[in-house]
Amino acid sequence: MDLPVNPPLLPMLAKRVDELPTGDEYIFEPKWDGFRALVFRDGDEILIQSRDEKPLNRYFPELLDSLRSALPARCVLDGEVVIVKENELDFDALQLRLHPAASRVKLLSQQTPSSFVFFDLLCVGDRDYRGEPFQTRRLELESLLSSAAPPIHLTPATADRSIASDWFRRFEGAGLDGVIAKPLSGTYEPNKRVMLKVKHERDCDCVVAGFRWHKKGDRTLVGSLLLGLYDDGGALQHVGVCASFSTKKRAELAEFLKPYRKDALDNHPWKHWADEAGDTAKRMPGGQSRWSQGKDLSWEPLRPELVVEVAYDHMQGDRFRHTAQFRRWRKDKKPSDCTYAQLEVVPPQELTAIFPQGR
């Protein structure tokens, strides 16, 4: 490729804030829950590049012809690959695309076709827009995609904070991840957190049924806590992990959890996961997947007697979408009280409010 902006390139990032900024110097957009990607086009050559600079073309073959039809002959755009199922975003379906078998990817591309939502512009023709203010880039992007048809989309945008607040409340049920605020005068700065993001956050009491050792510390530092919730049938389901501890806290946790390791596996609800003959089709706290990239995911069982309060943003199916954040131990709560019933149910919001013309 011979463009003003060539791959590989890291995208511009956002830092998390507690609330939407005030003032009239921001443009707000929905935060999409998909695969962040840059699209480079130079004639017939197209590259869909992930946020960690890996090619994604083979995983989303159904997008290539649509991108050729919708985009200028030479350009670089920033956006998100998403999959819409039953009027909401489906991140699980996106992950299934990362499959080594081309035949499987082809089948999935027909069964659950993807869409591309664009929200920034880096260059068109010989003009490099990275040094231009976002307001200019947005206007040019709107012009470029004025005739785009599904599965190519331009993300909604508004300068009205009240509208953005409404998006934050309503569109969560459609699987969106929050709201992004971009400075009108901001330039495009690769790999720098210059945008702002506001995400949902809720509290939940979980059973701590195990943990993983940190990669450093030679089994003296806790890496993450394995969290569980009881379902309607009384089974303890693994719903995610709690991490992001300081080194001091990791060492303290290792000592604190030591008594709960004694005889932990005897009647552990996840005992079959520790057995090599267990059902590996189930979600195992220590199970390898093609996304774990060889990381050591072995785990240490704990007697399921501890309850922790964590913060999470939203659920993906029956588990936390992202890593939960430690809040405090809840000695006043019984493990049996940690059920799915405590979770807030978000009313669905049809994506037709955002995708009026379909996927």
User: Which residues are designated catalytic?
Assistant: 31
The radius of gyration computed from the CA coordinates of the chain, to the nearest angstrom, equals: 22
Give the DSSP per-residue string, 201-247.
-EEEEEEEEEEEE-SSSSSSSEEEEEEEEE-TTS-EEEEEEEE---H
Closest CA to 83 of 103, 53, 106, 63: 63
Separation between Cα atoms, residue 119 and residue 152, nearest integer Å = 11
Query: Which tokens in the block code for residue 195?
Result: 């945008």
Closest CA to 78 of 21, 19, 145, 27: 145
DSSP SS3 for 324: strand
Using CA atoms, how far residue 290 sits from 95, 106, 128, 293, 301, in Å, is: 10, 18, 37, 6, 24
Separation between Cα atoms, residue 96 and residue 115, nearest integer Å = 15
Separation between Cα atoms, residue 246 and residue 303, nearest integer Å = 24
Using CA atoms, how far residue 181 sits from 76, 157, 197, in Å, is: 21, 10, 6
What letter does residue 339 receive in the DSSP assignment? B
Q: 195: burial class by Cβ within 10 Å (0-12, 13-18, 19+)?
A: buried
Work out the number of other CB atoms within 10 angstroms of the CB of residue 293: 7
Closest CA to 68 of 93, 96, 103, 41: 41
